[in-house]
Homo-oligomer: A and B are copies of this chain.
Amino acid sequence: MSDTCLSSNAAGPLLPFDRAEYDSRLDKVRAAMDRAGIDLLVVSDPSNMAWLTGYDGWSFYVHQAVVVGPDGPPHWWGRGIDRNGARLTTWLPDAAIHAYSDDYVQTRERHPMDHLSTLIADLGAGRARIGVEMDNYYFSAAAHAALCRNLPQARFVDATGLVNWQRAVKSEAEIAFMRRAARIAEAMYRRIFEVIRPGMRKNELVAEILAAGARGTAEFGGDYPAIMPIVPSGPEASASHLTWNDRPLVPGMATYFEIAGCYRRYHAPLCRTVHLGPPDERIRNAEAALLEGLAAGIEAARAGNRACDVAQALHSALEARGIVKDGRCGYPVGLSYPPDWGERTISLRRTDQTVLQPGMTFHFMPGLWMDDWGVAITETIVIRPDGPAECLADLPRAITVID
Protein backbone atom coordinates (compact mmCIF):
# COMPACT_ATOMS: atom_id res chain seq x y z
CA MET A 1 0.00 0.00 0.00
CA SER A 2 1.59 3.26 -1.07
CA ASP A 3 1.70 6.30 1.15
CA THR A 4 -0.82 8.11 -1.00
CA CYS A 5 -3.38 5.57 0.12
CA LEU A 6 -2.99 6.50 3.72
CA SER A 7 -4.33 10.01 3.93
CA SER A 8 -7.40 10.12 6.10
CA ASN A 9 -9.80 10.98 3.27
CA ALA A 10 -8.50 8.43 0.76
CA ALA A 11 -11.76 6.51 0.56
CA GLY A 12 -11.24 2.82 0.01
CA PRO A 13 -7.57 2.35 -0.89
CA LEU A 14 -8.22 -1.42 -0.89
CA LEU A 15 -11.35 -1.27 -3.10
CA PRO A 16 -11.57 -4.24 -5.53
CA PHE A 17 -13.81 -2.61 -8.19
CA ASP A 18 -14.09 0.84 -9.69
CA ARG A 19 -16.61 3.35 -8.50
CA ALA A 20 -18.86 2.97 -11.57
CA GLU A 21 -19.41 -0.68 -10.68
CA TYR A 22 -20.56 0.24 -7.20
CA ASP A 23 -22.82 2.98 -8.57
CA SER A 24 -24.49 0.50 -10.88
CA ARG A 25 -24.99 -2.01 -8.04
CA LEU A 26 -26.57 0.70 -5.89
CA ASP A 27 -28.88 1.67 -8.76
CA LYS A 28 -30.08 -1.92 -9.10
CA VAL A 29 -30.75 -2.19 -5.37
CA ARG A 30 -32.65 1.10 -5.29
CA ALA A 31 -34.78 -0.01 -8.23
CA ALA A 32 -35.61 -3.22 -6.34
CA MET A 33 -36.39 -1.19 -3.20
CA ASP A 34 -38.80 0.93 -5.25
CA ARG A 35 -40.53 -2.16 -6.61
CA ALA A 36 -40.90 -3.50 -3.07
CA GLY A 37 -42.02 -0.17 -1.64
CA ILE A 38 -39.04 0.04 0.70
CA ASP A 39 -37.78 3.46 1.81
CA LEU A 40 -34.76 2.33 3.77
CA LEU A 41 -32.92 -0.97 3.55
CA VAL A 42 -30.89 -2.45 6.42
CA VAL A 43 -28.35 -4.86 4.88
CA SER A 44 -26.92 -7.26 7.47
CA ASP A 45 -25.51 -9.94 5.16
CA PRO A 46 -21.73 -9.33 4.97
CA SER A 47 -21.70 -10.48 1.33
CA ASN A 48 -24.32 -7.88 0.46
CA MET A 49 -22.48 -5.25 2.52
CA ALA A 50 -19.26 -5.95 0.62
CA TRP A 51 -20.97 -6.06 -2.76
CA LEU A 52 -22.48 -2.60 -2.18
CA THR A 53 -19.59 -0.83 -0.48
CA GLY A 54 -16.43 -2.94 -0.70
CA TYR A 55 -16.41 -3.48 3.06
CA ASP A 56 -14.17 -6.41 3.92
CA GLY A 57 -13.23 -7.63 7.38
CA TRP A 58 -13.83 -10.54 9.75
CA SER A 59 -16.07 -8.37 11.90
CA PHE A 60 -19.42 -10.02 11.14
CA TYR A 61 -19.37 -11.80 14.50
CA VAL A 62 -20.70 -8.53 15.95
CA HIS A 63 -23.76 -6.66 14.68
CA GLN A 64 -23.06 -4.41 11.71
CA ALA A 65 -24.98 -3.23 8.65
CA VAL A 66 -25.04 -1.12 5.55
CA VAL A 67 -28.08 1.16 5.39
CA VAL A 68 -29.37 2.22 1.98
CA GLY A 69 -31.71 5.20 1.76
CA PRO A 70 -33.34 6.75 -1.29
CA ASP A 71 -30.28 8.83 -2.24
CA GLY A 72 -26.66 9.58 -1.40
CA PRO A 73 -24.08 6.99 -0.45
CA PRO A 74 -25.11 4.08 1.78
CA HIS A 75 -24.19 4.26 5.45
CA TRP A 76 -21.79 1.79 7.02
CA TRP A 77 -22.61 1.07 10.65
CA GLY A 78 -20.53 -1.15 12.93
CA ARG A 79 -18.29 -1.46 15.93
CA GLY A 80 -15.88 1.35 16.80
CA ILE A 81 -12.74 -0.73 16.33
CA ASP A 82 -13.92 -1.60 12.79
CA ARG A 83 -14.39 2.00 11.70
CA ASN A 84 -10.86 2.15 10.31
CA GLY A 85 -11.56 -1.06 8.41
CA ALA A 86 -14.52 0.66 6.76
CA ARG A 87 -12.34 3.64 5.90
CA LEU A 88 -9.69 1.44 4.31
CA THR A 89 -11.93 -0.95 2.38
CA THR A 90 -15.03 1.00 1.25
CA TRP A 91 -15.66 3.87 -1.16
CA LEU A 92 -17.85 5.64 1.41
CA PRO A 93 -17.11 9.15 2.64
CA ASP A 94 -16.19 9.48 6.31
CA ALA A 95 -19.53 11.12 7.06
CA ALA A 96 -21.31 7.91 6.06
CA ILE A 97 -19.31 5.74 8.48
CA HIS A 98 -20.97 5.33 11.87
CA ALA A 99 -19.77 3.31 14.84
CA TYR A 100 -21.00 2.18 18.22
CA SER A 101 -18.89 1.96 21.34
CA ASP A 102 -17.54 -1.29 22.76
CA ASP A 103 -19.98 -1.36 25.66
CA TYR A 104 -22.64 -2.53 23.18
CA VAL A 105 -20.61 -5.64 22.31
CA GLN A 106 -21.91 -9.01 23.49
CA THR A 107 -23.69 -7.74 26.55
CA ARG A 108 -27.24 -8.26 27.81
CA GLU A 109 -27.44 -4.69 29.08
CA ARG A 110 -28.02 -3.02 25.73
CA HIS A 111 -28.27 -4.12 22.11
CA PRO A 112 -26.24 -2.69 19.23
CA MET A 113 -29.53 -2.32 17.34
CA ASP A 114 -30.54 0.30 19.94
CA HIS A 115 -27.70 2.37 18.51
CA LEU A 116 -28.70 1.67 14.91
CA SER A 117 -32.27 2.66 15.74
CA THR A 118 -31.06 6.12 16.76
CA LEU A 119 -29.12 6.41 13.52
CA ILE A 120 -32.20 5.43 11.52
CA ALA A 121 -34.27 8.04 13.36
CA ASP A 122 -31.54 10.63 12.73
CA LEU A 123 -31.73 9.79 9.03
CA GLY A 124 -35.41 10.77 9.20
CA ALA A 125 -36.64 7.22 8.68
CA GLY A 126 -38.38 6.67 12.01
CA ARG A 127 -41.72 6.31 10.22
CA ALA A 128 -40.42 4.74 7.04
CA ARG A 129 -41.01 1.36 5.44
CA ILE A 130 -37.79 -0.37 6.43
CA GLY A 131 -36.56 -3.50 4.71
CA VAL A 132 -34.64 -6.02 6.84
CA GLU A 133 -33.06 -9.36 5.86
CA MET A 134 -35.29 -11.49 8.08
CA ASP A 135 -33.70 -14.83 7.16
CA ASN A 136 -30.01 -14.05 7.36
CA TYR A 137 -27.35 -15.41 9.72
CA TYR A 138 -26.40 -11.89 10.68
CA PHE A 139 -29.88 -10.58 11.48
CA SER A 140 -30.87 -12.37 14.65
CA ALA A 141 -34.32 -12.56 16.17
CA ALA A 142 -33.05 -10.23 18.93
CA ALA A 143 -31.82 -7.68 16.38
CA HIS A 144 -35.27 -7.58 14.81
CA ALA A 145 -36.99 -7.32 18.18
CA ALA A 146 -34.76 -4.39 19.19
CA LEU A 147 -35.47 -2.46 15.96
CA CYS A 148 -39.23 -3.02 16.29
CA ARG A 149 -39.16 -1.95 19.94
CA ASN A 150 -37.14 1.20 19.30
CA LEU A 151 -38.90 2.34 16.13
CA PRO A 152 -42.57 1.69 16.86
CA GLN A 153 -43.77 3.97 14.06
CA ALA A 154 -41.67 2.36 11.37
CA ARG A 155 -43.05 -0.47 9.28
CA PHE A 156 -40.69 -3.40 8.87
CA VAL A 157 -40.88 -5.55 5.76
CA ASP A 158 -38.98 -8.70 4.90
CA ALA A 159 -36.24 -7.94 2.36
CA THR A 160 -34.46 -11.31 2.56
CA GLY A 161 -32.67 -11.85 -0.72
CA LEU A 162 -33.47 -8.42 -2.15
CA VAL A 163 -29.78 -7.57 -2.62
CA ASN A 164 -28.83 -11.21 -3.30
CA TRP A 165 -31.11 -11.27 -6.34
CA GLN A 166 -29.36 -8.20 -7.77
CA ARG A 167 -26.09 -10.14 -7.52
CA ALA A 168 -27.30 -13.01 -9.73
CA VAL A 169 -25.99 -11.63 -13.05
CA LYS A 170 -22.28 -10.94 -12.70
CA SER A 171 -20.41 -8.08 -14.35
CA GLU A 172 -17.40 -8.77 -16.55
CA ALA A 173 -15.18 -7.60 -13.69
CA GLU A 174 -16.79 -10.08 -11.32
CA ILE A 175 -16.44 -12.94 -13.79
CA ALA A 176 -12.76 -12.02 -14.18
CA PHE A 177 -12.41 -12.45 -10.39
CA MET A 178 -14.18 -15.81 -10.58
CA ARG A 179 -11.85 -16.94 -13.36
CA ARG A 180 -8.96 -16.19 -11.03
CA ALA A 181 -10.72 -18.18 -8.33
CA ALA A 182 -11.00 -21.07 -10.80
CA ARG A 183 -7.24 -20.88 -11.52
CA ILE A 184 -6.72 -21.21 -7.76
CA ALA A 185 -9.12 -24.17 -7.53
CA GLU A 186 -7.16 -25.92 -10.29
CA ALA A 187 -3.92 -25.31 -8.38
CA MET A 188 -5.49 -26.78 -5.24
CA TYR A 189 -6.39 -29.98 -7.13
CA ARG A 190 -2.99 -30.21 -8.78
CA ARG A 191 -1.53 -30.19 -5.30
CA ILE A 192 -3.99 -32.84 -4.06
CA PHE A 193 -3.15 -35.19 -6.94
CA GLU A 194 0.55 -34.60 -6.29
CA VAL A 195 0.60 -35.43 -2.58
CA ILE A 196 -2.32 -37.75 -1.79
CA ARG A 197 -1.33 -41.30 -0.88
CA PRO A 198 -2.63 -44.11 1.31
CA GLY A 199 -1.54 -43.72 4.93
CA MET A 200 -1.30 -39.93 4.77
CA ARG A 201 -3.14 -38.28 7.66
CA LYS A 202 -6.18 -36.44 6.35
CA ASN A 203 -5.20 -33.22 8.15
CA GLU A 204 -1.85 -33.18 6.33
CA LEU A 205 -3.65 -33.37 3.02
CA VAL A 206 -5.90 -30.52 4.13
CA ALA A 207 -2.81 -28.51 5.12
CA GLU A 208 -1.69 -28.75 1.49
CA ILE A 209 -5.14 -27.77 0.21
CA LEU A 210 -5.38 -24.72 2.47
CA ALA A 211 -1.85 -23.63 1.60
CA ALA A 212 -2.43 -24.00 -2.15
CA GLY A 213 -5.66 -21.99 -1.83
CA ALA A 214 -3.99 -19.06 -0.06
CA ARG A 215 -0.85 -19.22 -2.20
CA GLY A 216 -2.87 -18.90 -5.41
CA THR A 217 -0.68 -18.25 -8.42
CA ALA A 218 2.48 -16.25 -9.04
CA GLU A 219 0.25 -13.46 -10.37
CA PHE A 220 -2.39 -13.26 -7.62
CA GLY A 221 -2.96 -14.68 -4.16
CA GLY A 222 -5.92 -16.57 -2.77
CA ASP A 223 -8.47 -15.52 -0.17
CA TYR A 224 -10.23 -17.73 2.39
CA PRO A 225 -13.26 -19.59 1.04
CA ALA A 226 -16.58 -19.14 2.83
CA ILE A 227 -16.68 -22.88 3.58
CA MET A 228 -13.73 -24.85 4.93
CA PRO A 229 -12.64 -28.00 3.05
CA ILE A 230 -15.18 -30.81 3.25
CA VAL A 231 -13.12 -33.95 2.75
CA PRO A 232 -14.91 -37.12 3.83
CA SER A 233 -13.61 -40.62 3.07
CA GLY A 234 -15.40 -43.91 2.66
CA PRO A 235 -18.43 -44.19 4.96
CA GLU A 236 -17.94 -40.60 6.18
CA ALA A 237 -18.77 -39.55 2.61
CA SER A 238 -22.31 -40.78 3.16
CA ALA A 239 -22.66 -37.61 5.24
CA SER A 240 -22.46 -34.47 3.21
CA HIS A 241 -20.75 -31.92 5.43
CA LEU A 242 -17.99 -33.57 7.49
CA THR A 243 -14.81 -31.51 7.28
CA TRP A 244 -11.69 -33.52 8.24
CA ASN A 245 -9.90 -35.41 10.99
CA ASP A 246 -6.37 -36.66 11.64
CA ARG A 247 -6.78 -40.30 10.70
CA PRO A 248 -4.78 -41.88 7.87
CA LEU A 249 -6.28 -42.32 4.42
CA VAL A 250 -7.21 -45.95 3.95
CA PRO A 251 -6.73 -47.82 0.63
CA GLY A 252 -9.90 -48.91 -1.10
CA MET A 253 -11.89 -45.83 -0.17
CA ALA A 254 -13.25 -42.87 -2.10
CA THR A 255 -12.56 -39.40 -0.72
CA TYR A 256 -14.43 -36.47 -2.17
CA PHE A 257 -13.31 -32.88 -1.96
CA GLU A 258 -15.74 -30.01 -1.69
CA ILE A 259 -13.43 -27.02 -1.91
CA ALA A 260 -13.29 -23.66 -3.66
CA GLY A 261 -10.67 -21.33 -4.98
CA CYS A 262 -11.32 -17.83 -3.72
CA TYR A 263 -10.04 -14.54 -5.08
CA ARG A 264 -10.94 -11.36 -3.18
CA ARG A 265 -14.08 -13.03 -1.78
CA TYR A 266 -15.19 -14.44 -5.18
CA HIS A 267 -15.54 -18.20 -5.27
CA ALA A 268 -15.14 -21.00 -7.78
CA PRO A 269 -16.21 -24.18 -5.96
CA LEU A 270 -15.19 -27.48 -7.48
CA CYS A 271 -15.68 -31.04 -6.25
CA ARG A 272 -13.68 -34.02 -7.37
CA THR A 273 -13.32 -37.54 -6.00
CA VAL A 274 -10.12 -39.50 -5.47
CA HIS A 275 -10.17 -43.26 -5.08
CA LEU A 276 -7.22 -44.99 -3.41
CA GLY A 277 -6.97 -48.22 -5.36
CA PRO A 278 -9.38 -49.47 -8.02
CA PRO A 279 -13.02 -48.42 -7.50
CA ASP A 280 -15.69 -51.09 -7.47
CA GLU A 281 -18.55 -51.40 -9.93
CA ARG A 282 -21.08 -49.26 -8.05
CA ILE A 283 -18.62 -46.36 -7.82
CA ARG A 284 -17.74 -46.67 -11.51
CA ASN A 285 -21.45 -46.64 -12.28
CA ALA A 286 -21.94 -43.56 -10.10
CA GLU A 287 -19.07 -41.86 -11.90
CA ALA A 288 -20.53 -42.62 -15.33
CA ALA A 289 -23.93 -41.38 -14.20
CA LEU A 290 -22.48 -38.15 -12.80
CA LEU A 291 -20.45 -37.45 -15.94
CA GLU A 292 -23.45 -38.03 -18.18
CA GLY A 293 -25.61 -35.93 -15.88
CA LEU A 294 -23.09 -33.10 -15.75
CA ALA A 295 -22.78 -33.06 -19.53
CA ALA A 296 -26.56 -33.05 -19.95
CA GLY A 297 -27.00 -30.33 -17.34
CA ILE A 298 -24.32 -28.09 -18.85
CA GLU A 299 -25.94 -28.55 -22.25
CA ALA A 300 -29.27 -27.43 -20.75
CA ALA A 301 -27.73 -24.48 -18.85
CA ARG A 302 -28.46 -21.89 -21.54
CA ALA A 303 -29.83 -18.39 -21.49
CA GLY A 304 -33.61 -18.64 -21.84
CA ASN A 305 -33.84 -22.09 -20.26
CA ARG A 306 -34.93 -22.37 -16.63
CA ALA A 307 -33.13 -23.56 -13.50
CA CYS A 308 -35.42 -26.62 -13.45
CA ASP A 309 -34.32 -27.59 -16.98
CA VAL A 310 -30.76 -28.07 -15.71
CA ALA A 311 -31.97 -30.18 -12.78
CA GLN A 312 -34.25 -32.20 -15.04
CA ALA A 313 -31.43 -32.92 -17.50
CA LEU A 314 -29.22 -34.15 -14.67
CA HIS A 315 -31.91 -36.27 -13.05
CA SER A 316 -32.90 -37.91 -16.33
CA ALA A 317 -29.30 -38.94 -16.96
CA LEU A 318 -28.93 -40.28 -13.42
CA GLU A 319 -32.20 -42.18 -13.66
CA ALA A 320 -31.06 -43.80 -16.90
CA ARG A 321 -28.36 -45.36 -14.72
CA GLY A 322 -30.81 -46.33 -12.01
CA ILE A 323 -29.99 -43.51 -9.61
CA VAL A 324 -32.97 -41.57 -8.29
CA LYS A 325 -31.81 -38.46 -6.53
CA ASP A 326 -33.83 -35.98 -4.57
CA GLY A 327 -32.86 -32.47 -3.62
CA ARG A 328 -31.27 -29.58 -5.37
CA CYS A 329 -28.16 -29.85 -7.50
CA GLY A 330 -26.80 -26.34 -7.56
CA TYR A 331 -27.00 -22.71 -6.51
CA PRO A 332 -25.57 -19.34 -7.58
CA VAL A 333 -22.06 -18.45 -6.40
CA GLY A 334 -19.89 -15.34 -6.41
CA LEU A 335 -18.93 -13.00 -3.57
CA SER A 336 -19.38 -14.64 -0.18
CA TYR A 337 -18.51 -14.72 3.48
CA PRO A 338 -18.89 -17.65 5.87
CA PRO A 339 -20.87 -19.72 6.52
CA ASP A 340 -22.07 -20.16 2.89
CA TRP A 341 -20.60 -19.58 -0.53
CA GLY A 342 -24.03 -19.84 -2.16
CA GLU A 343 -26.17 -16.77 -2.81
CA ARG A 344 -29.44 -18.29 -1.46
CA THR A 345 -31.67 -17.19 -4.34
CA ILE A 346 -32.08 -19.55 -7.29
CA SER A 347 -31.84 -23.31 -6.75
CA LEU A 348 -31.09 -25.79 -9.50
CA ARG A 349 -34.01 -28.07 -8.69
CA ARG A 350 -37.07 -29.43 -10.41
CA THR A 351 -39.44 -26.80 -9.03
CA ASP A 352 -37.42 -23.64 -9.73
CA GLN A 353 -38.73 -21.81 -12.81
CA THR A 354 -36.15 -18.99 -12.80
CA VAL A 355 -35.06 -18.13 -16.34
CA LEU A 356 -31.31 -18.28 -16.84
CA GLN A 357 -29.58 -15.13 -18.05
CA PRO A 358 -26.11 -14.51 -19.49
CA GLY A 359 -23.65 -13.76 -16.71
CA MET A 360 -25.36 -15.90 -14.08
CA THR A 361 -22.90 -18.19 -12.29
CA PHE A 362 -23.72 -21.44 -10.53
CA HIS A 363 -22.06 -24.21 -8.65
CA PHE A 364 -23.65 -27.10 -10.54
CA MET A 365 -23.27 -29.69 -7.87
CA PRO A 366 -24.49 -33.20 -8.37
CA GLY A 367 -23.29 -35.21 -5.39
CA LEU A 368 -24.31 -38.75 -4.58
CA TRP A 369 -24.49 -39.45 -0.87
CA MET A 370 -25.38 -43.08 -0.50
CA ASP A 371 -25.77 -45.31 2.56
CA ASP A 372 -22.09 -45.87 3.21
CA TRP A 373 -20.21 -44.00 0.49
CA GLY A 374 -20.36 -40.83 -1.54
CA VAL A 375 -19.02 -39.35 -4.76
CA ALA A 376 -19.11 -35.77 -6.06
CA ILE A 377 -17.93 -34.27 -9.35
CA THR A 378 -19.04 -30.71 -9.95
CA GLU A 379 -18.40 -27.56 -11.99
CA THR A 380 -18.76 -23.83 -11.51
CA ILE A 381 -20.49 -22.58 -14.64
CA VAL A 382 -21.32 -19.25 -16.24
CA ILE A 383 -24.37 -18.82 -18.49
CA ARG A 384 -23.35 -17.49 -21.91
CA PRO A 385 -25.38 -15.36 -24.34
CA ASP A 386 -25.48 -18.39 -26.66
CA GLY A 387 -24.80 -22.06 -26.40
CA PRO A 388 -24.26 -24.23 -23.33
CA ALA A 389 -22.70 -22.92 -20.11
CA GLU A 390 -18.97 -22.41 -19.80
CA CYS A 391 -17.08 -24.26 -17.05
CA LEU A 392 -14.78 -21.83 -15.28
CA ALA A 393 -12.23 -24.43 -14.22
CA ASP A 394 -10.31 -26.71 -16.53
CA LEU A 395 -9.90 -29.99 -14.69
CA PRO A 396 -10.56 -33.55 -15.92
CA ARG A 397 -14.06 -34.58 -14.94
CA ALA A 398 -13.47 -38.05 -13.56
CA ILE A 399 -12.65 -40.01 -10.44
CA THR A 400 -8.88 -39.88 -9.99
CA VAL A 401 -7.50 -43.27 -9.07
CA ILE A 402 -4.32 -43.35 -6.96
CA ASP A 403 -2.62 -46.68 -6.35
Contact = CB atoms under 8 A, between A and B. Distances in A.
Interface string A81-107: 111110111000000000001110111
A110 B106 CA distance: 32
Contacts of A328: 102, 105
Interface residues of A, number: 92
A351 B202 CA distance: 45
A140 B145 contact: no
A22 interface: no
A80 interface: yes
A83 B214 CA distance: 32
A141 B137 contact: no
A99 B228 CA distance: 23
A236 interface: yes
A140 B137 contact: yes
Contact of A206 (B88, B214, B236): B214
Contacts of A222: 203, 207
A85 B141 CA distance: 27
A48 to B, nearest CB: 14
A149 interface: no
Contacts of A347: 105-107
A243 B58 contact: yes
Contacts of A108: 160-161
Contact of A141 (B141, B238, B327): B141
A372 to B, nearest CB: 7
A220 interface: yes
A201 interface: yes
Given A144-B144, A235-B1, A240-B81, A339 B202 contact: no
Given A134-B141, A140-B140, A88 B339 contact: no
Interface string A135-159: 1111111111100000000000010
Contact of A57 (B1, B143, B242, B327): B242
A101 to B, nearest CB: 7
A245 interface: yes
A247 interface: yes
Nearest to A63: B135
Nearest to A202: B221
A246 B221 contact: yes
B331 A106 contact: yes
A292 interface: no
- Name the residue in A88, A206, A234, A243 with the highest tally of chain B Cβ atoms < 10 Å from its Cβ: A206
A132 interface: yes
A326 interface: yes
Given A1-B234, A339-B60, A351-B103, A241 B82 contact: yes
A6 B204 CA distance: 24
Contact of A85 (B6, B240, B327): B240
Contacts of A88: 235-236, 239, 242
A137 B44 CA distance: 11
Given A108-B161, A227-B61, A81 B215 contact: no
B85 A239 contact: yes
B203 A221 contact: yes
Interface string A358-380: 00000000000100100000000
A395 interface: no
Given A61-B339, A144-B144, A207-B211, 16 more contacts: A58-B230, A58-B243, A59-B241, A61-B227, A61-B342, A81-B369, A84-B240, A88-B236, A105-B327, A132-B141, A135-B141, A201-B221, A203-B214, A203-B222, A211-B211, A221-B244
6 contacts: A102-B326, A136-B140, A139-B140, A203-B215, A204-B214, A216-B246
